[in-house]
Amino acid sequence: MNSLKKANIIIPLLLIAVTSIIFYGYKTSLDKNNIMPYKTFLSEVDKGDVSDVYLTNNEKIKITLKDGKNFYIENPRALTFKEQLLIKGINVHEASSLGLEDYISIGISIAMFSSLAYFVYKSSKSKSSSFKMSAIDANPANKTNITFDSIAGNEEAKESIKELVDFIKNPEIYTKYNAKMPRGVILYGPPGTGKTLLARALASECDVPYYAVNGSDFVQIYVGVGAGRIRDLFKKAKEKGKAVIFIDEIDAIGKKRDSRADGGSDEREQTLNALLAEMSGFKENQGIIVVAATNRIDVLDNALLRPGRFDRHIEVGLPDVNARYKILKLYGNQKPLSSEV
């Protein structure tokens, strides 16, 4: 499809280029063949063979003999030139400085420039579009068999996440009794404690689409790219009706804003504003939950943490001795282990 689009642009450009070469070649050969020396012109005037002269400001001017032939002569640019021609009974025309050939030449140049500009515009637009979505997979991840029973340790965090299942499955019940459904949940704690696993289990238990992205995917050099990716992601999620959106390392876009005016700060701030706007636009009964994960909740912007955005903050800490025993028992159950373990 892309090759067909390129062909549709390149073929007209080639046709214009070939036409231009043919036209300029024809015009050059025509000019060389039809140039009359000025002395010969004066001789033709004396003989009364010149019918018309077309005066312009160009280097060469056109003359027409009485037999109908056209020639070009050097423009003498003399003040009395027109008067002398009129005395000889020659028709003098004050023609435009641009002849038909000049207008054709200008038209071809404009057509070539316009085609080139259109080609550059379409190419940049195509690259921008592909660049916009290059790092974001705006499609839900494949369903997995991960459930809360597949996770051991962090029982408090797991129980807090479990409470969201009914919110997502039956949001109408809570809306009926004016209960506020949480729009966002932040899982915070050290790396490797199972924050991503909890988000996947939530989507699996609810049997809804699961969108997993990384905060760094939204931060780009060009201002507006990250915000566009945010809007596209949430648009796809809303089309599904109910969904879990997981943003890992949200501190990449959600750090506290400052007064710096550099491009990176502007891009991150626009992306953060887009995220806040999308979360504020959720309907109470929409059934979409945004789960974010971070190692540093203390660096997040206050606008993210206020009610109506990320309502719940769940700590996912390192497992204690009992939790480690449960993890080992769960994952070592199907593994051949020594009797001493």
Cβ contact 314:292 at 8 Å: no
Q: Is 35 helix (H, G, I), strand (E, B) or coil?
A: strand
Coarse DSSP helix, strand, coil percentages of the chain, rounded to the nearest 5 percent: 55, 15, 30
pLDDT tens digits along 258-274? 655 554 567 778 888 88
Q: Of 16 and 248, which is predicted with more confidence?
A: 248
pLDDT tens digits along 226-245? 788 888 888 888 888 888 89
Q: For residue 95, give both structure tokens.
A: 């023609």
Query: Which domains are delineated in the chain?
Result: 2-101 (3.30.720.210), 136-332 (3.40.50.300)
Longest dimension (CA), the chain: 127
Query: What percent of the chain clears pLDDT 70, i.e. is strictly above it?
Result: 71
| Lowest mean per-residue pLDDT among 100-109, 142-151, 184-193 | 100-109
292: nearest Cα among 320, 265, 311, 268? 311
d(CA 61, CA 57): 8
Q: Of 98 and 70, which is predicted with more confidence?
A: 70
The secondary structure of 183-225, three-state, reads CEEEEECCCCCCHHHHHHHHHHHHCCCEEEEEHHHHCCCCCCH
Strands of the sheet with 210-214, listed across from one edge: 210-214, 243-248, 288-294, 184-188, 312-315
User: First vs last Cα of the chain: how many Å apart?
Assistant: 60
Provide the pLDDT for residue 65: 92
Provide the pLDDT for residue 137: 53
| Lowest mean per-residue pLDDT among 117-121, 146-150, 287-291 | 117-121
Residue with tokens 């051991």: 152
Provide the pLDDT for residue 100: 58
- Give the bridge partners for 3, in sequence order: none
- 187: pLDDT confidence band, cut at 50, 70 and 90? very high
pLDDT at 143 over 70: no
Residue type, 182: P
242 secondary structure, DSSP code: S
Provide the pLDDT for residue 220: 65
Instruction: With both helix axes pointing from N to C terminus, report the angle between 100-134 and 2-33 in degrees, rounded to the nearest 10.
Output: 160
pTM above 0.85, yes or no: no
pLDDT tens digits along 194-203? 898 898 888 8
- Give the bridge partners for 184, in sequence order: 290
